[in-house]
Amino acid sequence: MVKRILAIVFILIIGFWMAKALDQVPFGQDRMLVGKYYLEHVKEETGAVNAVTAVVVNYRGFDTLGEVTVLFIASTGVAALLWRKKRKRTAKTEGSVVLTTGARLLLPFIMLFGVYIFIHGHLTPGGGFPGGATIATAFLFLYLAFTVYEVDHKIFEPLEGLAGVGYVTVGLIGLAIGGYFLFDWIWQTWGIGKENIGRLLSAGFIPIIYTLIGIKVGTELTGIVDNMIKEPEEGGQ
């Protein structure tokens, strides 16, 4: 009881302290310095209508590379922690007919929607990470509905690696053409799609990178689900 009261008092003190600090920050006022630059120059500099994806992929592409690396390390870490030679699914209860039929019918729609999100990253909200998560959701649906389902590891893990290598390759091509890593070579030197800003074929390399990130995130999250859902066989190592 004393411990709990102490904890509550401590949290209240921290909360008061942070509120005091936030009191100095002017919310809702026009105090943007970098943000204003992004909003004013995003169209002619990147060709993207969605300013968030332009910042994430184009202006601050290096951070996105770090995020993708973090996800890759998470996936590899889960796989390394749960590594056993013989592992298989131990689910006993079959999914009901409604669930399995629903999974069969809904799967293409969820997949298509995920692909839609990451292809239209420069036009609509979302991008590679939500799109990839939606694709992983489709595979999670398969895992939930069928007790024996398992993804094809011969295809999935190479695809994950290839997508990551593709992202770095796009950055390296930018380094070769423009002089720095993740230089937007399609937009700034070739100028493809200058006329149709706001349409699908615009925004330089943002759709390409987001397609790669979408594939990578989708396969990685599916791999994490696959690793966590399987257990070692009885008696076997």
Partner 1 sequence: MIEVYLILIALAVVLSMYRFFRGPTTADRIVAVDIMTTLTTGLMVLFALYYRRAIFLDVALVYAVLAFLGVITFARYMEGGL
Contact between 108 and partner 1 per CB under 8 A = no
Nearer to partner 1, 113 or 156 (CB): 113
Contact between 93 and partner 1 per CB under 8 A = yes
Best CA proximity match to 182, nearest among 163, 217, 206, 202: 206
Contact between 91 and partner 1 per CB under 8 A = yes
Contact between 99 and partner 1 per CB under 8 A = yes
Neighbours of 219 (CB within 10 A): 27
* Whole-angstrom Cα Rg for the chain: 23
Neighbours of 27 (CB within 10 A): 7
SS3 state of residue 232:
strand
**Which residue's structure tokens are 């257990």?**
231
Nearer to partner 1, 52 or 173 (CB): 52
- Going by the DSSP 8-state scheme, the letter that residue 1 receives in this structure is -
Contact between 117 and partner 1 per CB under 8 A = yes
Q: Which range in 29-37, 110-118, 188-196, 197-205 contacts partner 1 by CB under 8 A?
A: 110-118
Per-residue b/e over 104-115, b at no fewer than 16 CB within 10 Å?
eeeeeebbeebb
Figure out which of the listed residues 95, 166, 193, 232 binds partner 1, where binding follows CB under 8 A: 95
Nearer to partner 1, 57 or 110 (CB): 110
Closest separation in Å from C-beta 28 to partner 1: 16
**Cα 237 from Cα 235, distance rounded (Å):** 7
Figure out which of the listed residues 144, 151, 177, 197 binds partner 1, where binding follows CB under 8 A: 144
Q: Which range in 34-42, 54-62, 121-129, 187-195 contacts partner 1 by CB under 8 A?
A: 121-129
Q: Which range in 63-71, 88-96, 185-193, 198-206 contacts partner 1 by CB under 8 A?
A: 88-96
Q: Give whole-number Cα distances, 213 to 77, 86, 151, in Å.
A: 19, 31, 19
Interacting residue ranges for partner 1, rule: CB under 8 A: 91-95, 99, 110, 113, 117, 124-126, 130, 133-134, 137, 140-141, 144, 147, 229
